[in-house]
Amino acid sequence: MIHTYTVTGMTCNGCKASVEKALQSIKQVTDVSVNLEQAEATIHCSQLIPIDQLQVALSDKFKIQDRQKTKHISAASGAINNQKSEWKQLFPLFLIFGYISAAAIILNYKPWDGSGVMLDFMGLFYIVFSFFKLLDLKWFPESFKMYDPLAKAIPGYGFVYPFIELALGMLFLTRVQLPLALIATIVILGVTTIGVTKTLLSKKTIQCACLGTALKLPMTKATFIENTIMLIMAVWMLLKIYN
């Protein structure tokens, strides 16, 4: 028998390996294949296994459901409930953006300095976001390379990325080498935004690594918007410096 199930809670290849190992430990299971991007597990078994038995074998971090049942429940729940859930998941992101924006404005309120607001916003953005990535540096690269083209192509890029963000944040806050920091921002976030756009268009359900893996944020339009805001600021400031 071959059955396909939806498995939620997987964020990286480590999670994939953990799920495969747990399911293969069940006596009736002869083979397991897990698709991380599709959040699915295909199980070959000698007889039908109750869903409860499958769940017991897994860590509490993961939840397994019948794929057809999952699709039915998802369709029945409606767009309104899905939207509420998405906004609830993204609340930490919006809260952080609010704090960063408020801090940047306060630092440049008297006298008012619009350019200073943008530079401090970008600096604080990088510092805060690198902090969350460094909280779980072991698994961040695996999650990041699921959508970032450079992380997929260059081994080790995902590991050094939080440190690049930290360095850029310091450059913006100290106003040192601003042209270099702005150009690096345009290149790095430009590449990431391409990957985010492709992921959104493919309608894949994956975790956004913008705040590392400590906070479980879904890949949504909010991720695209946050990158776009930073890109617009970087381009604007670069043009202002050279004009």
Give the torsion through C-alpha atoms of 15, 16, 18, 24, to 10 deg: 160
User: Rounded to two decimals, what is the model's pTM?
Assistant: 0.66
Q: Flag whether pLDDT at 76 surpasses 50.
A: no
- Exposed/middle/buried for 37, CB within 10 Å: 0-12, 13-18, 19+? middle
Asked if the model's pLDDT at residue 83 lies above 70, the reply is no
Instruction: Give per-residue pLDDT as tens, 15-59.
Output: 888 888 888 888 888 888 888 878 888 888 888 888 888 888 888
Least confident window among 51-55, 71-75, 202-206: 71-75
The full set of domains in the chain, from first to last, is: 2-61 (3.30.70.100), 83-242 (no CATH)
Burial class (CB in 10 A: 0-12, 13-18, 19+), 102: exposed
- 236/10: higher pLDDT: 236
Tell me which residue of 238, 230, 166, 165 sits closest to 196, measured CA to CA.
Answer: 230
**CB of 211 within 8 A of CB of 92?**
yes
CA dist., res. 238 & res. 243, Å (int): 9
Cβ–Cβ contacts within 10 Å for residue 106, how many? 11
What distance in Å separates the CA atoms of residue 159 and residue 218, rounded to the nearest whole number? 21
Residues 6+ apart with CB under 8 A from 158: 140, 141, 142, 144, 145, 148, 151
Q: Which tokens is 63 given?
A: 């939840």
pLDDT band at 85 (very low <50, low <70, confident <90, very high): low
User: What is the pLDDT of the chain when averaged over all its residues?
Assistant: 83
Kind of pairing between the strands at 207-208 and 217-218: antiparallel
Work out the widest C-alpha separation in the chain, in whole angstroms.
74
How would you classify the pairing of strands 2-8 and 63-66?
A: antiparallel
Q: Average pLDDT, stretch 100-106?
A: 94
Q: Which of 78-92, 174-188, 218-232 has the weakest average pLDDT? A: 78-92
The CA distances from residue 112 to 106, 174, 182, in Å, are: 9, 18, 22
The type of residue at 120 is D
pLDDT at 81 over 60: no
**Joined tokens for residue 223:** 């991720």
In the prediction, which pLDDT does 80 show?
A: 40
How high is the pLDDT of residue 46?
Answer: 82
Q: Is the pLDDT of residue 78 over 70?
A: no
CA angle, corner 164, sides to 158 and 166, nearest 5? 120
Specify burial of residue 107 (Cβ count, 10 A radius: 0-12, 13-18, 19+). Answer: middle
Answer yes or no: is pLDDT of 129 > 60. Answer: yes
Residue with tokens 């619009």: 114
